[in-house]
Structure 1
Amino acid sequence: MNDKKFTIQLLSNYQQRCFVEFLTEWKKEHEEEYLSFRDDLESNTSGDFSVYAKLFEMAVECIPANILVMCKELFGAEVLPFEIDDKKREIDELVEKFLYFDGYARFDTSQEEWTEEYVTEKDEPDTPKVFYFRIPGIDEWWNGIPANYRMLALMFLGSREEELKIQGRRLILAGLFCMNEIICNLCDLALEKQNPILLSGLYYIVLDHGLRSTSKLMSNAMSSMGAQSMLIPTLVTNVVGKLVSTSVSKGYDKKADWKKDAKEYP
């Protein structure tokens, strides 16, 4: 069975073309803003990641409060009291319900309802309003994370493996169950509010070969830091690998261009 047929297509090909046209027109009308964003990003030679901080702050606006609280708890940060509404209770109940689940989560957009389906194979949904997500068992999920990622997380967070596995699983599930809200928030920032940081970042990645440039920046930053920590080279290598894979699979850049860039890395 090919799980790819159950991947949600957030935008159809037509919608993607329309969005690219929207980005292109926005950039024409905000040339100075975009160039300032790109220059700030690419002039970074001393490990100054302030532009990334702005992107992160913008992204935080799209994340529901309960997920932010879970992130803070994971990193051992102080969590201030906040109002627990019905939506948070619903997400918490879903997370506990699916914590040890192994099968497919079925999401009906017309009802905004999640249900469990303990099956190993499924047919195409009869309606585009229904989506299926393969959720592996907790041990299969944990062991599927590359060993170096798990090692780095355990070292960085200072957690016991079983504790981190449960916390990580809860966070991933909460993100899945809040995905519709996150996507709506992002669309609102991009299309309605036309957030310049978000649109500049999207144009940079989709139309201005930003993933290749980002990998060079990270490689240069790693070189300037030297061998201060084994964490830095490992993290950068893993992230750059993901950038290459995403860039080529999405058609943003060609594999030959990445190979050419690799020769220039320090």
Structure 2
Amino acid sequence: MNILDELSNVSDFHKMREKASLSICSWKAEHENVYKEFKNKMDSISAGDLFALDTMFGLAYDCLPDKPTGKKVTSLPDFGSADGIWQNLPQYTKSYIAETSKNDGKATKEDCLSLIEEAADYMNTCMSFVPSFVSNLKAKAMDEENDAIRCMYYYMMFDGGSTKMIETLNSIMDEEILDQEDLTMIHGAVGFMVPSSINLGVETKESWEKVANLCAPEIWKDISYELSKSEGNRGRKVEVKCIDSLLTGNKSALKEKILLFTEENPGPICLAYLLIALIRADAITKNVSYTTFHRAIEQFTRRKIGIDCPQKRYGELKDYRFSGPQKGSWAKAKQIIYLWTDIFAAVV
């Protein structure tokens, strides 16, 4: 069994992630109070309230199997020689290993390398639990009404959870007396969160630079180092939203009318007319991109709709004034847009 099987047994990971994101956004729109309570608990961590962390660790513990899979596990990481690992470690990690390896007040290089070998063996053992852990976590997310999973997903993917956690660690560093182990944990958190959040598209280099400028020199240095290695651009974050987060005004009434629109106008190209009508009726967030709107409609109607034709049509029509008489498809577009603009405006 390959160690990555549980992580890559989906034919299209990005499509699965987008579907999950839309589902979580929709759930959050219907459970604002639940998410608000979760967020307050996350904000309280720096004040010593560890309830949110206890919930997360409890969830992880519940997903752990009693023993490894029992099958032969392949594709475990090749950590290389202990000496090779040592040469590539950052200085703070070397210092921590040296401190931990002390024997009679001293730590030799041999002691440090021995500890590294033990750590590599330990990591290989931990990796053998990964397939079952991922499978159990997925089952909890899909089959149970587990608010903690949904809240944490939204927090990390859409609410700047990575940067907020580093800001929390920075405040702890300012206010608490930390030992070498605490500092190593903070360095490790920065080293993980900066590149992973950029690779996922939930943060950008620019957003991390803003956080770095608010942090203590130690964290600022870590963030800057990770940004110097990152290939992420400074573009926009990934934008995945549900229809509730896009609409303004009477959302329930608008959603009923949107369903009616899609029933009466089933062609994919008509989604371009739908978005223009919603914009004209001031029923949707300003400057929403067509791609974001299209994904939200697919999730809301539970239909897979081709995006190319309606996106092109929207580009043609979004700045068109429809002044004077129209012919052919333009006349049909004008008729649909004007009719539904009035319908949406009446319920907004």
Tell me which amino acid in the other structure corresponds to 1:57.
G
Q: Give how far 1:50 is off.
A: 2.9
Alignment map for 1:1-266 (pairs within 5 Å): 9=8, 12-66=13-67, 90=70, 113-114=72-73, 132=75, 134-139=77-82, 142-143=85-86, 144-153=88-97, 155=99, 161=112, 164-226=115-177, 228-266=178-216
More helix by share: 2
Unaligned runs of 5+ in 1: 1-5, 68-86, 91-111, 116-131
| Aligned-residue RMSD, C-alpha | 3.1
How many matched pairs? Answer: 202
Runs (4+) of structure 1 exceeding 6 A deviation are none
Q: 2:102, 2:61 → 1: CA distance?
A: 24
Post-superposition CA distance 1:17-53 (Å, at most 9, x none) = 1111121122223222111111111133424333112
Identity of aligned pairs, percent?
18
SS of the residue aligned with 2:59?
Answer: helix
Tell me which amino acid in the other structure corresponds to 2:166.
S
SS of the residue aligned with 2:47?
Answer: coil
Question: Does structure 2 retain, via aligned residues, the 8 Å contact 1:138–1:169?
Answer: no
Post-superposition CA distance 1:56-75 (Å, at most 9, x none) = 111111122347xxxxxxxx
Q: Show the counterpart of 1:82.
A: none
Bigger Cα Rg = 2
With structure 1 as the length reference, what TM-score do the two structures score? 0.64
Q: Give how far 1:214 is off.
A: 0.6
With structure 2 as the length reference, what TM-score do the two structures score? 0.51
Post-superposition CA distance 1:206-230 (Å, at most 9, x none) = 111100111101100111114x534
Q: 2:112, 2:121 → 1: CA distance?
A: 14
Question: Does structure 2 retain, via aligned residues, the 8 Å contact 1:46–1:224?
Answer: no
Tell me which amino acid in the other structure corresponds to 1:28.
A
Q: Give how far 1:250 is off.
A: 1.4
Tell me which amino acid in the other structure corresponds to 1:37.
F
